[in-house]
Amino acid sequence: MDGQSQSLSPLSDAVVKVFERKEATNNEPKITVNRFLSEIASWYEKLRTAMDISDDEVVLRSAIERIIKRRIILGGNGEKIAEPLLRELIWAHYFPNSTLPESYVGKIAHMVQLYLDLRKNVLDQKVIKEQVMTEWTIHLISCQVARFLSPNIEKNTMSNFMYHIMKDRLEILDDKEDTKNVQVYLAVRRAFAKDDIAFLRFYLFQQIFGDLTTESLPQISKSFLKGYKEIEYQLSYPLREKIYMFIKKRVPVFYILEDVLRQHKTDFRKLLDTSEEFKKVVFDACDVRYKGVRKKVTTAIIRSVIFLLITKAVFAIGVEGSYEKWAYGHINWTTIALNICIPPLLMIITSFFIKTPGKDNSQRILDKINTILYENHPEIIPVLKTLVHPPKKRSVLQVVFALLGLLAFVVSFGLVVWTLNKVHFNLVSQIIFVFFLTVVSFLAYRINLTAHSYSVDAGQGLLTPFIDFLIIPIVRVGMYFTEGISQINIIIFIFDFLIEAPFKAIFSFFEQFFSYLHTSREDLG
């Protein structure tokens, strides 16, 4: 239907205006670095970033945190940190050469010093452990600098838009409205903006204290402990994960709307006049996202298979082979070959069953976009009513569910062990196989979630409950194994302090040397 008569809601209209605005140009002198050194540094940064599991949205903040942490440990203050920080970010191609104004050096030096002064003032009160306060300080500085250098106004506008819509779709019946609003805000920042714990702390810090300035520093220092306790309470709120999952399922609608707004900043309102044209634009945006997900899924599967082949070979030959040689006097190469090949093969087979959304999903997204654009109080989903402290009545049904969960665990792992015994796996071989089977299951589950990250109100398949009954216990064990392994990351420490620090120091020396040579050449002319 052409010529839609509806007008945008006041909230939607305000969002569209943000995307329509024109960015101001900055003609100040810019920071310039040596291009040759920058190319080398960028390759190092790609290698270092590949070792992180952070989302793309927080990569810049993580890089700033690494640099600041290293320079604070070496005794840096705001003045000593600011310029090297900006140069390292340009070296690593986080910002193009000659785009950051030189005036940023003084501004960032002031920001960094304020937080270092806050740290000193709070530690002088002896109310918070030094390790905790240092972590907080580095988090706050890295977030403040990241937001200053990359404000990302459009992303923040969409986050606030989603918050204002979703806060009316949740009720916590036994807690205050303010607490509910904070939890919805945090869930939106996590689900839509992909903010990590550092950003969440930073945004709550700003909500409680406002901007940290020379004038507000004494008062914030004095009341920091109270604010710290409130922030930690909100970040460990009992319902936080439940609210997060509730919000996360609604994220695709806002992602697609954001994509359309970014692509059609100047003609978005005109698009709305023709429903068929707007539908085509929305469907095209969905297809782009689906293709991106398919690419991510394929990459994740390839990486997982390579990881499994290498690690399984090491475990199977190094541990299982050594054990069999010691216990039986020979190595059962058939068992080892099965132990190496089966988990990667399972991952490959699983990949054939992972599907991305289709046009029916795109239509649901379009319907919800129309709802949030035109309605003043869009009811895109039913209200979720929940309790922090539900009645602790242990009903017969709850006991039955608990017993069924235990049965699922026994049946799942019982079938695996029974099968392994049938093919004559020894105890060590079984332990290694079960370990990697759980990891494979968890990786496959994570990849499947990625594939369905843009699904909206999708129904379950006929066999889904039965499959979940058998698979979820294995996936849960794999999650615990994977999380435990991720906590032990000696390689990251080696990179950040034993390699990166001298590496960047050498770069700084050569950049100054090249600058000296350039100046000397100009003097000769």
Instruction: Kindly give, in sequence order, each residue whose CB lies less than 8 Å from that of residue 37, ignoring residues fewer than 6 positions away.
Output: 91, 507, 510, 511, 514
Per-residue DSSP letters for 158-191? HHHHHHHHHGGGEEETTS-HHHHHHHHHHHHHHH
Do 236 and 310 lie in a common domain?
no
Do 244 and 363 lie in a common domain?
no
Rounded (5°) CA angle 329-335-340: 120
Q: Is residue 157 part of a domain?
A: yes
Q: Is residue 410 part of a domain?
A: yes
Do 273 and 238 lie in a common domain?
no
Question: What pLDDT was estimated at residue 336?
Answer: 65
The Cα 212–Cα 215 span in angstroms is 8
Question: What pLDDT was estimated at residue 447?
Answer: 72
* Token pair recorded at residue 203: 């945004």
Do 339 and 368 lie in a common domain?
yes
Q: How many domains does the chain have?
A: 2
Do 333 and 187 lie in a common domain?
no
Per the structure, the complete domain to which residue 325 belongs is given by 269-486
Q: Is residue 362 part of a domain?
A: yes
Instruction: Give the end of a domain, one of 255, 280, 308.
Output: 255
Judging by DSSP bridges, how do beta strands 170-172 and 384-386 pair with one another?
parallel
Do 247 and 346 lie in a common domain?
no
**Residues 330-350 pLDDT 10s:** 666 666 666 667 666 766 776
- What's at 512, amino acid-wise? Q
Q: How many CB atoms lie within 10 A of CB 208?
A: 16
Do 227 and 325 lie in a common domain?
no
Distances (CA, A) of 449 to 109, 241, 343: 42, 16, 19
What residues form DSSP beta bridges with 233?
none
Do 184 and 222 lie in a common domain?
yes
For residue 267, give the DSSP letter.
T
Q: Is residue 14 part of a domain?
A: no
Do 301 and 153 lie in a common domain?
no
Instruction: Give the end of a domain, one of 452, 467, 486.
Output: 486
Per-residue pLDDT of the chain (525 residues; tens, 9 = 90+): 444 457 899 999 999 999 998 877 778 888 887 666 666 656 665 655 555 545 566 788 988 998 888 888 777 788 888 988 898 888 888 888 888 999 999 999 999 999 999 999 999 999 999 999 999 999 999 999 999 999 889 999 999 999 999 999 999 999 999 999 999 999 999 999 999 999 999 999 999 999 999 999 999 999 999 999 999 999 999 999 999 999 998 999 999 999 999 999 888 999 998 889 999 999 999 999 988 877 777 776 776 666 666 665 665 566 656 656 666 666 666 666 666 676 667 667 766 767 778 899 999 999 999 999 999 889 888 999 999 988 776 667 667 767 776 777 777 778 877 877 877 776 777 777 777 777 777 777 777 777 777 888 765 554 455 555 556 676 777 666 655 554 444 444 555 555 555 655 665 555 555 554 545 544 545
Q: Is residue 499 part of a domain?
A: no
Q: Is residue 473 part of a domain?
A: yes
* Token pair recorded at residue 172: 């916590």
The Cα 206–Cα 233 span in angstroms is 16
Do 286 and 238 lie in a common domain?
no
The Cα 399–Cα 258 span in angstroms is 45
Distances (CA, A) of 424 to 131, 316, 330, 339, 421: 51, 15, 15, 12, 5
The Cα 333–Cα 212 span in angstroms is 65
* Token pair recorded at residue 274: 């023709």
* Token pair recorded at residue 89: 């970010």
Do 313 and 213 lie in a common domain?
no
What residues form DSSP beta bridges with 386?
172
Q: Is residue 18 part of a domain?
A: no
Q: Is residue 61 part of a domain?
A: yes
Q: What is the 3-state secondary structure (H, E, C) of 305-364?
A: HHHHHHHHHHHHHHHHHHHHHHHHCCCCHHHHHHHHHHHHHHHHHHHCCCCCCCHHHHHH
Do 439 and 327 lie in a common domain?
yes
The Cα 81–Cα 142 span in angstroms is 12
Whether 438 contacts 481, CB under 8 Å: yes
